[in-house]
Amino acid sequence: MLEDFKKFAMRGNVIDLAVGVIIGAAFSKIVSSLVDDVIMPVIGAITGGLDFSNYYLPLSSAIQGHPAYADAKKAGAVLGYGSFLTAVINFLIIAFVLFIAIQQIQKLDRKKAAEPEAPPAPPRSEVLLEQIRDALVKK
């Protein structure tokens, strides 16, 4: 059983998947930073200083006034639609980048498929046999 597991774990697909997951996790942090630190502040500046991370609806009467989202979560149940909006923007950016990457990979595959491959040269023995055959036909 240990040998079967070793074969499974060392297969190319499993290793490729592991590398993809690790790169995906790192890429997710980059996109989160892009959205939180670059895109949302620009949107906030355009819309007059709105901070989407603090948009929520209180679902508990324990929340008095309009404290910051983190404080409101500690006080009671809240519906944090601002955080959800940020997560949706993160998803859209990741989906768009993947779409572009897959599109470029498909272009490369189409270029390779469009280039005709030269047929391989026949083996030397086959060429010699053809020459012998042709010589016998002439006699």
- On whether the pTM is more than 0.85, the answer is no
* HSE-CB of 74 using CA atoms within 13 angstroms: 4
Read off the CATH number of the domain in which 63 is found.
1.10.1200.120
Per residue in 74-122, pLDDT tens? 888 888 888 888 788 878 887 887 788 889 888 888 877 766 777 788 8
Domain of residue 80 covers 2-138
- The total domain count for the chain is 1
Number of H helices, E strands in the chain: 6, 2
